[in-house]
Structure 1
Amino acid sequence: MIEMSGISKAFSGNVVLDKVEFKLADGEIHALMGENGAGKSTMMKILSGIYTKDSGNIKVDGQLVNFKSPKDAEKLGIHVIHQELNILPDLTVVQNLFLGKEKTYGKTGILKNREMEKEAAKLLSKLGFNINPKKRAGDLSVGQQQIIEIAKAIASEAKYIVMDEPTAALTDREIETLFKTVRELKEKGISFVYISHRMEEIFAICDRITILRDGQYIGVRNIPETTFDEIVEMMVGRELGERFPTRQCEIGVTKLQVRNLSVNGLFENISFTVNKGEVLGVAGLMGAGRTEVAQTIFGYRKASNGEVFIDGKKVSIKSPIDAMKYGIGFVTEDRKTQGLVLDFSIQENIALANLEKCSSSGVINKSKQQSMVTKYIEELKIRTSGPEQAAKSLSGGNQQKVVIAKWLGTEPEILILDEPTRGVDIGAKKEIYHIINKLAESGVAILMISSELPEVIGVADRVIVMQEGKLTGEVMKEEMTQEIIMHYATGGEKVGQL
């Protein structure tokens, strides 16, 4: 058992944790929840030896411990899968899995490559994932990289595994496989700390739940004895109301038309329209080609065939700069590597896509810049010490809001949202849904890619579904169900076959 009591931690005088409590029993899956910035990740970094606590006690199997490094924690069987993936992109999958634990022929230093490859393939197969161990890790999708992290934890034979947003980039089918593996490991006595903003997952797999709010311990509940509404109120300190706010606006004429768009080896003959004031959802399993279609529209990838029309006129978009000139914004799937410059401040990140608006005669006007940034910090409720705070020091949800703010500043007429609420807490999700509604009501055409089917159904006016690079179905609002969308996502042709 792990017991953390009276844990406090402050950074530069800013209290992040204030006398927090947490207990993890043997063979338990224990959820840790709270809004972005509540202190969950900091608490787990203390448990794993990345941070040192300012005060409080940690006991592992009844023994008082004081970790000074992650190795200290690992020696006692504690393994953490962080939200920020620790994958070395230039190494292969098998090299990542055995990093620091390579198998060699005695003291020669010669690696037993075939043996490690066989073990890696066996482990990945056990998890239900078909990934070539020899493949370069950097060539994998975000979701596949997450799978490698999970495999590393299981391979380490850890007694306690902390999973911080482990399913953020996984499809429903992969999540189901992961849950099966977690339950099997639980039966063998392994304990899990499960951090997630997906409430359905918490109720599906966890035994108990501990709630933090603003760095303080709020309480613990047994999952069978609590409700969605009670957990949300404990997290945010108030009732949240409807999960998906309703939108009242008329859908206008066609703004964006994509006709027979193809990229060799990725997707082919994709055709759809997005109207003014409409939210068009794009659903599908991992690898379906959803993100690649969005990147091609935005000029990040070169199309091998097809046409794009805006306001009925054919356009040639060869780069993101071209896309922005046509009024297209793109909130990317991976905010840390594609959406933000982490070492830049909030102000600098928001200004990046808005340099012309913030400049006078080619020189940045600090007053204009600060005015715009302050406006979006207030409108999007970005929790920050100020515009100069570095993006890397923000919580995941607040980082996502900065990315959205950057594109709102461009006043887009077409906005592509790729997994807009990934890794974002329930309160911040609703704020993002309000932003989407407000944009749609102002006439913006929105293309929203999401792996969360409840989100697709709750937010989109219409959904198109992709499977292995092809468009397999279209579902109108009144017909949307998870079953129908998944039917198309797995290659089904006729809804009548269900």
Structure 2
Amino acid sequence: MSLHSSSFPQAGLAQQANFPVLRLSGICKHFQGVVALHEVGLTVRAGEVMALIGENGAGKSTLVKTLTGIYQPDAGSMQLDGKAVIFSSPQEAMAAGITAVHQETVMFEELSVAENIYIGRQPQTGFPARIDWARMAADAQQIFARLEVQLPVLAKVRELSVAQRHFVEIARALSQDARVVIMDEPTASLSQREIHELYRIIAQLRAAGTAVIFISHKFDEIFAVADSYTVLRDGHFVAAGALADITEPQLVSLMVGRTIEQVFPKVDIALGKTLLEVSNFCHPTEFRDVSFSVKQGEIVGFYGLVGAGRSEVMQALFGLTPGVSGSIAIDGRQVAIACASDAIKHGIAYVPEDRQHQGAHLSMSIVHNITLPILDGIGCFLWPRRAQETAIARQLSEQLELKASHFTQMVSELSGGNQQKVVLAKWLATKPKVIILDEPTKGIDIGSKAAVHRFISELVTQGLSVILVSSELPEVLGMADRIVVMHQGHIHRVFARAQATPENVVAAASGSSHTSEELACAT
């Protein structure tokens, strides 16, 4: 398989005339009376990158599932290269040349990288036919070589990082010579270097005549890679056009139906006593000599490049990592945290980055997810208990502006951003003293981000302390009172809010011992 145009199926006259590779018209989809999509249209041409834009709950995920054969539309038409198509299964969509790279990777963890790429269509040899393992590994290696990505094709997927799994998904999509590649938040777990590698891959797809539907909440990415846009809002088509003809504020207004004046509503409050103090925190392989404190009402931001050790420190603080040395004090009293229940008992809550595997029970309802950590504190009698559970879920859902049809809806049916809100609500229900938010707005649109940021500001005004771990520099700069910058497993610099400039923070994250001002003076 090659990334050059000769290796991709040609669209013939459609491609030569730049006709649409894919066109949707009047697509409608309902779930138990709830309108998910209504009269939605979409057009993407050969060699075009079209950005599909909308808030969480706008209908993007439903539309992607309709395109890939998971859902069938209730009304409307779909054309591929000018011919009407209806996909009754994902296999039919893949066979037709439509494939998706999802934000949350779904793979067979005990199988190898090569097996995951060719699952269900392994090359065969001999008679009777058997899997040609050598050819499969060689073909997989060839794909990664052309992508200029180094991955061990015989390694088990469970051994890979989140970023590496995304590249396996991309390789799996490209191995099928797709006519249309849908990329759903593909950069959510990638480093800057890996993001630029992805941009290069997208450019290769564009040059080869492949149509790309690119879904992202990050406008810098959208304007960096996309040629055109389509905006959805509340399941309705809103607008479409060339990105060269529109500005970011205009896109935001189309997405949310209003102008968001302040995405980072930081509230300055008087800080109280030191609530949490971590001293000489060490782990044999992940981090060393980590010491920091958090005051009541303070937001302490943790920033660093991929592999800096931020999440590892927070998981250890929550009792999820064995073999940690050092001390933890809460309200001036030394505490021992050997497991997550100890952390919860002492008033620490942790909202993990991986919401689907670590944060939520997808097969359970919204209300049962939210109240799961506090069942001991809810009455034993059935009906009063249910009423109390519903009241708690309603209060937190309204505060976080959760979009769902009802509280008994399965979390798996929600958009990624709304799943994150359920995880937030779940831990806030424990009424913690310190809440650790690890990438709390990952995969959340700009409107939902503003809602989460407003809620964080509300929490600190109530005396809660927040540790905000984020790879988004504007978020850390906009929300934190202090910024702790980690580099290669240790704390490299700590900046007060007034000292924290993008240049200083990025320089520290890269390992520089000087601020940008000091470097400027030196030169």
CA contact (8 A) 1:358 1:366 kept: no
**TM-aligned CA deviation for residue 418 of structure 1:** 0.7
1:262 partner SS? strand
Match in the other structure for 2:488: 468
Per-residue CA distance 1:392-434 (angstroms, 9 max, x = gap): 1122222111111111111111000011011111111100001
Distance 1:258 1:150 in 2: 40
2:451 partner SS? helix
1:120 aligns with 2:120: no
Match in the other structure for 2:368: 348
CA contact (8 A) 1:5 1:56 kept: yes
1:147 aligns with 2:147: no
Distance 1:363 1:314, change over 3 A: farther
Distance 1:148 1:37 in 2: 27
CA contact (8 A) 1:35 1:427 kept: yes
CA contact (8 A) 2:34 2:405 kept: no
1:478 partner SS? coil
Distance 1:113 1:263, change over 3 A: farther
Match in the other structure for 2:54: 34
Distance 1:261 1:125, change over 3 A: farther
Per-residue CA distance 1:70-117 (angstroms, 9 max, x = gap): 222222321111233221111122221222232344345554444444
Distance 1:77 1:20 in 2: 21
CA contact (8 A) 1:355 1:364 kept: no
Distance 1:262 1:119, change over 3 A: farther
Distance 1:73 1:282, change over 3 A: same
**TM-aligned CA deviation for residue 118 of structure 1:** 4.3
Distance 1:122 1:460 in 2: 45
380-389 or 205-214, which deviates more: 380-389
Match in the other structure for 1:188: 208
Task: Choose which of 21, 30, 37 in structure 2 pairs with 1:10.
Answer: 30
Task: Choose which of 142, 156, 160 in structure 1 pairs with 2:176.
Answer: 156
2:104 partner SS? coil
Match in the other structure for 2:9: none
CA contact (8 A) 1:283 1:489 kept: yes
Per-residue CA distance 1:282-327 (angstroms, 9 max, x = gap): 1222222221111100001124322222222221100110001110
1:256 aligns with 2:267: no
CA contact (8 A) 1:143 1:286 kept: no
Task: Choose which of 100, 123, 127 in structure 2 pairs with 1:80.
Answer: 100
What root-mean-square deviation, in Å, do the aligned CA atoms of Structure 1 and Structure 2 show? Answer: 2.1
Match in the other structure for 2:89: 69
Match in the other structure for 2:266: 246
Normalising by structure 1, report the TM-score: 0.94
Task: Choose which of 329, 352, 356 in structure 2 pairs with 1:332.
Answer: 352
Per-residue CA distance 1:165-187 (angstroms, 9 max, x = gap): 11111122211221122112212
Distance 2:383 2:336 in 1: 30
Match in the other structure for 2:18: none
Distance 1:439 1:130 in 2: 43
Distance 1:126 1:271, change over 3 A: farther
Amino acid in the other structure paired with 2:117 = L
Match in the other structure for 1:316: 336
Match in the other structure for 1:207: 227
Distance 1:389 1:361, change over 3 A: closer
Match in the other structure for 2:301: 281
CA contact (8 A) 2:482 2:497 kept: yes
CA contact (8 A) 2:399 2:455 kept: no
Amino acid in the other structure paired with 2:426 = K
Distance 1:105 1:168, change over 3 A: same
Amino acid in the other structure paired with 1:459 = M
1:200 partner SS? helix
**TM-aligned CA deviation for residue 361 of structure 1:** 9.0
Match in the other structure for 1:410: 430
Distance 1:314 1:115, change over 3 A: farther
Amino acid in the other structure paired with 1:201 = E
Task: Choose which of 431, 447, 462 in structure 1 pairs with 2:451.
Answer: 431
1:178 aligns with 2:198: yes
1:250 partner SS? coil
33-42 or 80-89, which deviates more: 80-89
CA contact (8 A) 2:320 2:340 kept: yes
Q: Which runs of 5+ in 1 are unaligned?
A: none
Distance 2:316 2:504 in 1: 27
Match in the other structure for 1:295: 315
**TM-aligned CA deviation for residue 249 of structure 1:** 1.0
Normalising by structure 2, report the TM-score: 0.90
1:365 partner SS? helix
Amino acid in the other structure paired with 1:415 = I
Amino acid in the other structure paired with 1:87 = M
2:376 partner SS? coil
Distance 1:307 1:275 in 2: 17
Per-residue CA distance 1:11-66 (angstroms, 9 max, x = gap): 22222111111000111110111111111111121111111111111111111112
Distance 1:362 1:71, change over 3 A: closer
CA contact (8 A) 1:333 1:418 kept: yes
1:353 partner SS? helix
Count how many residue pairs are aligned between Structure 1 and Structure 2. Answer: 498
Distance 1:460 1:151 in 2: 38
**TM-aligned CA deviation for residue 264 of structure 1:** 1.9
Match in the other structure for 2:255: 235
CA contact (8 A) 2:309 2:487 kept: yes
Match in the other structure for 1:446: 466
Match in the other structure for 1:224: 244
Distance 1:414 1:127 in 2: 43
Per-residue CA distance 1:104-140 (angstroms, 9 max, x = gap): 4434555444444444344335445443323221232
Per-residue CA distance 1:213-264 (angstroms, 9 max, x = gap): 1111101132121112111111111111122113121233322222221222
Distance 1:451 1:134 in 2: 31
2:358 partner SS? helix
Distance 1:42 1:439 in 2: 33
Distance 1:363 1:322, change over 3 A: farther
Match in the other structure for 1:49: 69
107-116 or 305-314, which deviates more: 107-116
317-326 or 189-198, which deviates more: 189-198
Distance 2:463 2:345 in 1: 18
89-98 or 203-212, which deviates more: 89-98
473-482 or 72-81, which deviates more: 473-482
Identity score, percent: 38
342-351 or 121-130, which deviates more: 121-130
